[in-house]
Amino acid sequence: MAAWKSAVVAVPVIALAIAAAVQHAGGGHSLWLAFFVVLATVLMWATRVVPEYLAAFVFFVICAIGLVAPASVFLSGFTGPAAWLVFSGSVIGASLGHTGLADRLGARLAAIANGSFRAVIARVAVFGTALAFLMPSGMGRIFLLAPLLAAFAQRAGLPKGSRGRAGVMLAGLYGTFFPAMGILPANVPNNVLAGLLETTGLGVPSFSEYLLLHFPVIGIAKLALLIGLLTVMFRDVAPVPAPETEPPPPMTTGEKRLTALLVATIGLWLTDSLHGVSATWVGMAAAVVCLWPGTGLLPANPMKSVAFEPIVYVAGVVGLGAVVGHTGLGTRLGELLAGVIAPLAGNAVASYVGLAAIAAGLGPLVTAVGVPAILTPIAPVLATATGLPIATVTMSQVLGFSTIFLPYQAPPLAVAVQIGALPVREAVRACLALALLTILLLWPLDVLWWMLLGRL
Q: Rounded to an integer, what distance in angstroms lies between the CA atom of residue 80 and that of residue 72?
A: 11
Q: Rounded to an integer, what distance in angstroms lies between the CA atom of residue 355 and that of residue 350?
A: 9
pLDDT interval class at 43 (50, 70, 90): confident
Q: Rounded to an integer, what distance in angstroms lies between the CA atom of residue 114 and that of residue 123?
A: 9
Q: Rounded to an integer, what distance in angstroms lies between the CA atom of residue 191 and that of residue 85?
A: 14
Q: What single-letter DSSP state applies at residue 237?
A: S
pLDDT interval class at 329 (50, 70, 90): confident
User: How confident is the model over 188-235, as pLDDT tens digits?
Assistant: 788 778 766 765 667 778 777 888 999 999 999 999 999 999 999 999
Sort 97 into a burial class: Cβ within 10 Å, 0-12 / 13-18 / 19+: middle
Q: What angle do CA 422, 428, 434 make, to 5 degrees?
A: 110
Residues paired with residue 115 on neighbouring β-strands, in sequence order: 240
Give the pTM: 0.74
Amino acid symbol at 379: A
User: How confident is the model over 135-154, as pLDDT tens digits?
Assistant: 656 777 887 788 888 888 88
User: How confident is the model over 297-315, as pLDDT tens digits?
Assistant: 888 888 877 777 777 877 8
pLDDT interval class at 1 (50, 70, 90): very low
DSSP H stretches of helix in 48-187:
52-65, 71-74, 76-79, 81-99, 101-112, 117-134, 138-155, 163-177
User: How confident is the model over 338-389, as pLDDT tens digits?
Assistant: 888 888 888 999 999 999 999 999 888 777 877 887 788 778 888 888 889 9
User: How confident is the model over 240-265, as pLDDT tens digits?
Assistant: 776 565 677 888 888 899 889 988 88
Residue 170's pLDDT is what?
Answer: 95
Using the CB atoms, write b or e for 232-242: b if 16+ within 10 Å. Answer: ebbeebeebee
Question: Is there a contact between 225 and 442 (Cβ–Cβ < 8 Å)?
Answer: yes
Q: Which of 313, 2, 280 has the alpha carbon at shortest distance from 139?
A: 280
Question: Is there a contact between 27 and 67 (Cβ–Cβ < 8 Å)?
Answer: yes
Q: Is the pLDDT of residue 61 over 70?
A: yes
Amino acid symbol at 183: I
Radius of gyration of the chain (CA): 22
Longest dimension (CA), the chain: 73
Question: Is there a contact between 396 and 356 (Cβ–Cβ < 8 Å)?
Answer: yes
Question: Is there a contact between 399 and 359 (Cβ–Cβ < 8 Å)?
Answer: yes
Q: Name the 3-class secondary structure at 222.
A: helix
Question: Is there a contact between 177 and 189 (Cβ–Cβ < 8 Å)?
Answer: no
Q: In the chain, what are the domain boundaries?
A: 1-68, 79-195+205-308
Residue 229's pLDDT is what?
Answer: 97
Q: Rounded to an integer, what distance in angstroms lies between the CA atom of residue 312 and that of residue 326?
A: 20
